[in-house]
Structure 1
């Protein structure tokens, strides 16, 4: 009977340590991929939240819950934030497109050079 309790205590200790390891290990890992993914999702969520807020401001103004000066001030503030996010998205997209275009041009140049060297080597 004593053997069973020792074995069960050892198995329980291994189980608890395993669970503790699984809970603690994410705090010590490098999260660069997750940060990048989180940032892109955060920008999309932020943009959506700002657009929703703009709609709510307009609705409240039409329901006469906001004065015209408050409405104009809030609308200008949120529109500038949305415009900044859109500019940032456009810039990052343009950079990605530029890199892709540059890589494609380099591949075409290398292919052209290889074709010319094959033609030149045969003469």
Structure 2
């Protein structure tokens, strides 16, 4: 009986420790999103710089036309992906702003209707 009680106490204690310590080992999603946006901006700038360097080297006849086109296409695809990600995140912000504006207009309309109702 004492052995069963000790086992259940140990399981309970380990469960409590897990619940207390588990959040400490998880990354915060907000911080992860912030890091991702900063990383995307830095990567985008590096890719655009590389595109400029490729074009410069092509004009200086250091790259063949086929290599130039292949590299340019490769880097443009990467930049396009980053720009689409940025656009998607900015669209979400615009939607939130639009929603807030609509809510304000509804509240103003409700206030006007209340005032009209009190006047009668």
Residue 64 (str. 1) matches residue 52 (str. 2): no
1:90 matched residue in structure 2: 87
1:99 matched residue in structure 2: 96
The unaligned stretches of length 5 or more in structure 2 are 1-23
User: 1:32 Cα deviation (Å)?
Assistant: 2.5
- Which secondary structure does the structure 2 equivalent of 1:71 belong to? helix
How many residue pairs match? The answer is 97
1:31 to 15, 28, 31: 28
TM superposition score normalised by structure 1: 0.70
- State the alpha-carbon separation in 2 of the partners of residues 30 and 39 from structure 1: 13
> Deviations for 1:77-103, whole angstroms, at most 9, x for unmatched residues?
111211221122122112211211111
Residue 114 (str. 1) matches residue 103 (str. 2): no
1:54 matched residue in structure 2: 51
What is the root-mean-square deviation in Å for CA atoms of aligned residues?
1.7
The unaligned stretches of length 5 or more in structure 1 are 1-26
TM superposition score normalised by structure 2: 0.72
- State the alpha-carbon separation in 1 of the partners of residues 86 and 95 from structure 2: 14
1:12 matched residue in structure 2: none
- State the alpha-carbon separation in 1 of the partners of residues 78 and 46 from structure 2: 11
